[in-house]
Structure 1
């Protein structure tokens, strides 16, 4: 059994920060669950370009407001508490925080924990996540 608290994880190397967001990685690849689970804060008045070419992600908004815009078709979807969005087609998108948003995120394949977006908004693929 794995038991962790958000507070302990936030005060460890599981907390990763970037210009527009911070993410506390509660479950990682090393935990052997087949996914990773993160509590992510999107800062207010920010826009982040994201394109998870190597990962699928589900995101549930716990607090705050913003929007997601899909690049392929320009559709804009509002985000508020209770909203779930799923990037099931590796959707390239812009994530905008109107206010600070707290999000619960699940990634498949799981992240190792140190990943940040590259210049294209991509997290690198860890080949060992796929058994390679």
Structure 2
């Protein structure tokens, strides 16, 4: 497979739950360039999006604002989904990390997102899960 040739059937889906519209659009653009399929969701559509049958090999990327608005009971349901979750935070405090751990967050990434830290983290969590077939990231 050459760079730029990704079959849609193989592309992993990244759910983006980010409160900043400009950041969400930027993430979508960049992730699609990396060969991922993307879908936007918010705190209200998050659980249905995670349960959608068309979400193959998915990973959830959410920011601290959306994560803080998710109800406690819903956050605990993340654990049961088995989907890798990457939480973007401005500062890794003990309280945020404890809530993230209780919700089954796979990785916490601090903002600002320098270099390719978010893309590397996405690639790593999908690879650990055995799903990373559709990405274009070189090894």
TM-score by length of 1: 0.30
Pick the structure with more strand per residue.
1
Pick the structure with more helix per residue.
2
